[in-house]
Chain A
Amino acid sequence: MNLFRSEEHIRRWALFDPASEPGIIALSDLAVLFSTESRRHLLDGDYLERWAGKRWPERREALQRIGKAIPYWMPAA
């Protein structure tokens, strides 16, 4: 899971897998995916008990919001 200077750089990368075209994602969308509520509570002291289990459900919801609710990104329910 990497950052690149542009889409062209992704496709020129020596290890680029052509099957990973759906894995290209805008920076603004990544910021949404990595700003879900549980992320804000990592240091609260009850992260494992209260927040860790919400990680993937939140991701599913965020993926819907950014239009990435496709099998490449969505975990099985």
Chain B
Amino acid sequence: MLDTADVRALDKVFRAILSRMVQTGQAPHHAELATARDCTSEEARLAVHAIFKRGYPGWVHPGTDLIASFPPLNNQPTQYRVSVDESQKWFAQCGFEALAVCWLFPGRMVRIEAPCLDCGDRMIVTMRDGVVLSADPPTLIGHCNSPWSLGADPKNLPFM
């Protein structure tokens, strides 16, 4: 039995989700989690929702139980394509979270590639262990179009 009020039990599900995303670029379905965690499919489904309700800033696709976002990665493709050792199979939740993906791949070079929302031209950032190794163009910059402080309140996360 998986008790969704037990944070240690949720941590096992959390790690199973994120580990699968690191390995494959894709989030597992809760039915797959049930097999891995030796719980029922319904318990795994509730656990996924419980992780987000605790304030972890990801979400399921609206009206479903399908994990769409599990930061810093995204299961639903975004414009932020992430490659590790030249293999591209990950997407970042957003341009900011893209910079945290390197912590899922310690010691390895992570490349973030995205089109500029203004002109569509390509931008590339490479990082390793939190250090920006290169930025193309060098003028590359971040922007938050609404107050970042709003994200401290889970009510403001999309689709929650």
Contact = CB atoms under 8 A, between A and B. Distances in A.
Interface of A: 1-7, 9-10, 12-17, 20, 23-31, 33-35, 39-40, 42-49, 52, 56, 71-76
A9 B122 CA distance: 13
A56 B56 CA distance: 11
A3 B91 CA distance: 14
B141 A34 contact: no
Interface stretch (B8-16, B31-39, B60-68, B82-90): B8-16
Contacts, number: 169
B142 A24 contact: yes
Interface residues of B, number: 55
Contact of B149 (A2, A10, A46, A71): A71
A31 to B, nearest CB: 5
Nearest to A9: B118
Interface string B95-114: 11111100110100000101
10 contacts: A2-B145, A4-B143, A13-B118, A15-B145, A17-B145, A23-B144, A27-B140, A34-B72, A42-B103, A45-B11
